[in-house]
Amino acid sequence: MSSFSVTEPSKRSKWFAGTMVVIYALVTMVPLAWIMLTGFKSPADAISYPPKVVFEPTLEGYVNLFTTRTRQTPEFLAANPPETWYDEIVREYDMVIAGPSKFGERFLNSVIIGFGSTFLSIFLGTLAAYAFSRFKIPLADDLLFFILSTRMMPPIAVAIPIFLMYRQLGLSDTHLGMILLYTGVNISLAVWLLKGFIDEIPLEYEEAALIDGYTRFQAFYKVVLPQAATGIASTAIFCLIFAWNEYAFAVLLTSGTAQTAPPFIPTIIGVGGLDWPAVAAGATIFLLPVMIFTILLRKHLLRGITFGAVRK
Amino acid sequence: MSETPVTRAAAATPKRVARRIKGLSDRAIAWIFVAPTIFLLLAINIFPLIWTINLSFTNFKANRIGREVKNVGLRNYERILTDSDIWLNMQATAHFLFWTIFFQVLIGFTLAYLINKKFKGNDLWTTIIVLPMMLSPAVVGNFWKFLYQPQIGLFNYIVAFFTGKDPSSFEMLGSVQLAPWSIVIVDTWMWTPFVMLICLAGLRSIPDYIYEAAEVDRASKLRQFFTITIPMVLPFLMLAVLFRGIENFKMFDLVVQLTGGGPGSTTELTSINLKREAFEKWRTGYASAYAIILFVTVFGLASIYVKALNKVKER
């Protein structure tokens, strides 16, 4: 670019734009920052008025999130001195830790169902996307559009027959049931995105491999797959985030064994109403991985959220 | 969606090369690759859809399995379309849709325009701004409920700080006037970055030489904005509105966590209403008809809109 360009914004307008954007970014971060702070507050600090920005940090919220506690008599407490730092925290309230809470379990469910459905979506999606990209498939466009339009159904509308179906098949509240369901929902996104990525790989590579005596299948996994690795990785993250965040199906179709974290976090109850620091701690632990993934994904973000309609 | 790779592959492989390919034929591979996906879609999407259509003509109740199921014809549809309460839910949904899209387009476009000034560090700030939209809506709804608490909530405190009102004098989630706006605020906070990202892609797709030519023609900056920037970004903006429209028509998790449809039914969007009919009152047949009506509505509106979008693109 030359030293002077009519399209290059002036220094003053850059400075103005920068300031405005930074102000917006800071304001938009306030709710998130507040939740993360609340996770380190004591219950009293969390509901104090005026809201406290400076407070004495404590891990109480996190301890409460992961444990269940019972109140004990002073004699019992005196006879059993606290053994660990988390014991000490709950002793302040004359309580002892009775055992782990369900949060760990629910979080693990989120991990199992998230990764399980992501793996399945990517495995099936890559195969289908390759076929859609490279072969003539009758009604391919209609099929692709159909795959996409299934996303227009409100989740509750889909949940009615799935609920009945799963009840009959014994899949309600099972990991397998949720993995299959999320794969069914995610596969449209996976196929659509992956087709876009595979379309971008030049055909010449495969043709060369085929002429060298590779079979179609060998050409697929030795030539196309490595080339599509970035695309597959970012599609996988999108599928994972969807399954991770999903709430409507989870709340309707699971209640115990296979319940994921989103329906569980709002139900964390402390002594006398909602235990906000524990809820905030749960939200923080649950949201952090997604934030990290978002940062990793920032280059392909646009493509994922628009079903590949906009590519940068 | 370009057709070239498909047609080229089909033209390139079978004749010259095909004879030398060992193993399965292309046709077999294509079907083996696509079949599992199709099967899964049939099982998780098509079969349930057909089942829903079937159920919508009956008086089936999922919590009473033994009861005889009667075919009631179109009565479910008739009852839904003449029910004035459902029109109230539709109105609540329309209010939510209109204002969220309005604010998101306004703020999103402005932000994209500012970011496109390419100031130092714009990538970093864009990434930060984008964070809210990737989070779990249910968890977001849950923690905004905390921010909206009267007296102790941060939102009330900040509003009170700037307006001088008493922070316990208004309840964002509890009052009939404010609750519909409280969900608009959270949705706008969460999804403005989405519109911003798409607008930014639109702005970046405008080649510099168009502005340079306009400059040579001595078009004013304002004129350039209205005759170059806006028309070039419009297809992108319309796409963003399409996505937001479909998503917010389906809106469930965020609002259920925030207000649960209340107070009364002021924020009871159609999805929340549908959930009540299907999984609280267990009127499965009725809810199925409702689901079909919603699906047809979204699908119809989206199809009309996509046609308009394509017209804009062609210009």
Task: Judge whether A241 and B133 are in contact, CB under 8 Å.
Answer: no
Q: Do B117 and A5 touch (CB under 8 A)?
A: no
Identify the pLDDT of residue B3: 47
The pLDDT tens digits of the residues spanning A223-244 come to: 899 989 989 998 999 899 999 9
The pLDDT tens digits of the residues spanning B170-188 come to: 888 888 899 999 999 999 9
The pLDDT tens digits of the residues spanning B10-41 come to: 555 555 455 444 566 777 888 888 889 888 88
Give A96→chain B minimum CA distance, Å.
28
Q: How far apart are CA B153 and CA B163, in angstroms?
A: 16
Contacts of B254 (CB under 8 A, 6+ apart): B137, B138, B140, B141, B183, B186, B187, B190
pTM: 0.87
Q: How far apart are CA B306 and CA A139, in angstroms?
A: 20
The pLDDT tens digits of the residues spanning A161-182 come to: 899 899 889 988 999 999 999 9
A and B: number of Cβ contacts within 8 A: 322
Q: What is the mean pLDDT of chain B?
A: 86
Q: What is the mean pLDDT of chain A?
A: 85
Question: In this predicted complex, what is the ipTM?
Answer: 0.87
Give B311→chain A minimum CA distance, Å.
16
Can you tell me whether residue A69 is helix, strand or coil? strand
pLDDT band at B65 (very low <50, low <70, confident <90, very high): confident
- Exposed (0-12), middle (13-18) or buried (19+): which is B51, by Cβ within 10 Å? middle
What's the Cα-to-Cα distance from A71 to each of A76, A82, A98, rounded to whole Å? 10, 14, 9
Give the 3-state secondary structure of A165-215: HHHHHCCCCCHHHHHHHHHHHHHHHHHHHHHHHHHCCCHHHHHHHHHCCCC
- For residue B34, the chain A residue with the least C-alpha distance is A128
Q: How far apart are CA A245 and CA A43, in angstroms?
A: 27
Q: Stretch A9-13: mean pLDDT, rounded?
A: 85
The mean-pLDDT minimum among A41-50, A87-96, A135-144 falls in: A135-144
Concatenated DSSP letters of A98-145: EEE-SHHHHHHHHHHHHHHHHHHHHHHHHHHHHHHHHS--TTHHHHHH
Q: How far apart are CA B62 and CA B55, in angstroms?
A: 10
Domains and CATH numbers, chain B: 79-314 (1.10.3720.10)
The pLDDT tens digits of the residues spanning A84-113 come to: 888 888 777 777 888 888 889 999 999 999
Partners of residue B24 in chain A, C-beta under 8 Å = 215-217
The two structure tokens encoding residue A79? 């006879």
User: CATH for A104-267, among 3.10.290.10, 3.40.1260.10, 3.40.1710.10, 1.10.3720.10?
Assistant: 1.10.3720.10
